[in-house]
Amino acid sequence: MLETLASARRLGGEAVNHAEVFEFLRGDEGRIVGARVRDKQSGESRAIRAEVVVNAAGPAVERVRGLDRPITKPEIRPAKGVHLVIPRSRVHCECAIVFDARDGRHLCLIPWEEVALIGTTDSFTDQIDEPVVSIEEVHYMLSAANDAFPHLALTTNDISCAFAGVRPLVADGDEETPSNSVSRDDKIYDDPSGLISVTGGKLTTYRAMGERVVKEALDRLSEERKAAAGPSLTADLPLREGEFEAAELEAELQARYGLAPHRIAYLVRTHGLDAETLLREADPELRRPIGDSRFTYAEIPWCLRTECAVTLCDLLEHRMRMALFAIGQGLPELDEISRIAAAAAGWDAE
């Protein structure tokens, strides 16, 4: 998703992290002409005007629609999915494997870099802000994995971490269909106020969903603005700019900066051509690895400067993904990470 935001910014858009819509602005006949947005870090708010407003708030889409008018009958059912993360060395597999739990649900064992994922659960939930991983869900997936692969003998001691996400499924709030049988199709809502809302779908279809929403928004513009904007470019626009040969770039960067091959490969895979800029602009002292992980301290100022990271959680969980992939989740090096982040972002000790 970071590549999507970066692409939007290259095309002239703006991205604002940790911002919350709390009120809509209205024009003639109650039409929505913008929103009031609060910076959740500073508490400051400002009005942003727009000819068209799109609500793509995922599992919170009806909460945002509720700022426009009361939602008398829910039309989405949030469903929680949990994954367990274990060391890759515990499973010895080179590809994703699908297996069944005792209740017939399909689960997956997915090798991913230094770890493997086991998941996912699928249950309706009200936990759309901070979904919680329960011990029952942990035992459910460990039992299913051990049934399928008894030689693994996995226990809770093997779990590096666990995480949960929430799917915004399009379904009647009173529907009794189990969550894993609800369609993953997406739906666009066009409210009388002019608010466009989109929900449902899957990560694998998000660009097609985005294209349809953009077309819907373009149809609302004046003819002059519509002509200036042109049609949606999604179908022909690569997310990442610049063509390069990964092996050649890795060899060049390794020769220039002396990092271990697996760390250079990770930087090129993650940042593409920007890996060269990231290393070149970093203080030489920051080009060292973070503990025994594949990560380098040079990524910290880069993420703060170019990827809208504003907190340590942003860095460790959502940008560098150390919480998933690093031994100890970055916590043994947290003091040094904090010091470098503070220097790059201008934070005080608090």
Residues 43-55 have pLDDT tens digits of 999 999 999 999 9
Please determine, for residue 338, whether its predicted confidence score (pLDDT) is greater than 80. yes
At 263, list the tokens: 């760390």
User: What element of type H or E holds 266?
Assistant: helix 261-271
pLDDT at residue 173 above 80? no
Beta strands in the chain (DSSP E): 19-26, 32-39, 45-49, 54-55, 76-87, 97-100, 106-112, 115-119, 123-124, 161-170, 186-190, 196-200
Summarize the confidence of residues 3-13 as an average pLDDT. 88
Give the pLDDT band of residue 175 (cuts 50, 70, 90): low
Predicted pLDDT at 350: 82
Q: What is the mean pLDDT of the chain?
A: 92
Q: In Å, what is the CA distance from 322 to each residue of 23, 89, 155, 258, 314?
A: 35, 18, 22, 22, 10
255: which 2 tokens? 């020769």
pLDDT for the residue 347: 92
Helices (H) and strands (E) in the chain, counts: 12, 12
Decide: 118 and 145 in contact? Cβ < 8 Å.
Answer: yes
Q: Where is pLDDT greater, at 99 or 243?
A: 99
How many C-beta atoms surround the C-beta of residue 206 within 10 A? 15
CB 15 within 8 A of CB 9: yes
C-alpha distances in angstroms, 119 versus 85, 88, 170, 287, 336?
9, 15, 22, 35, 33
**Is the model's pTM score more than 0.75?**
yes
Local confidence band at 327 (pLDDT 50, 70, 90 cut-offs): confident
Query: pLDDT by residue (tens digit) across 284-314?
Result: 999 999 999 999 999 999 999 999 999 999 9
Predicted confidence (pLDDT) at residue 176 exceeds the cutoff of 70:
no
For 211-247, how does the pLDDT look when each residue is reduced to its tens digit (9 = 90+)? 999 999 999 999 999 999 888 888 888 888 778 999 9
Per-residue pLDDT band at 196 (split at 50, 70, 90): very high
Query: What is residue 139's predicted lDDT score, i.e. its pLDDT?
Result: 97
CA atoms within 13 A on the CB side of 161: 16
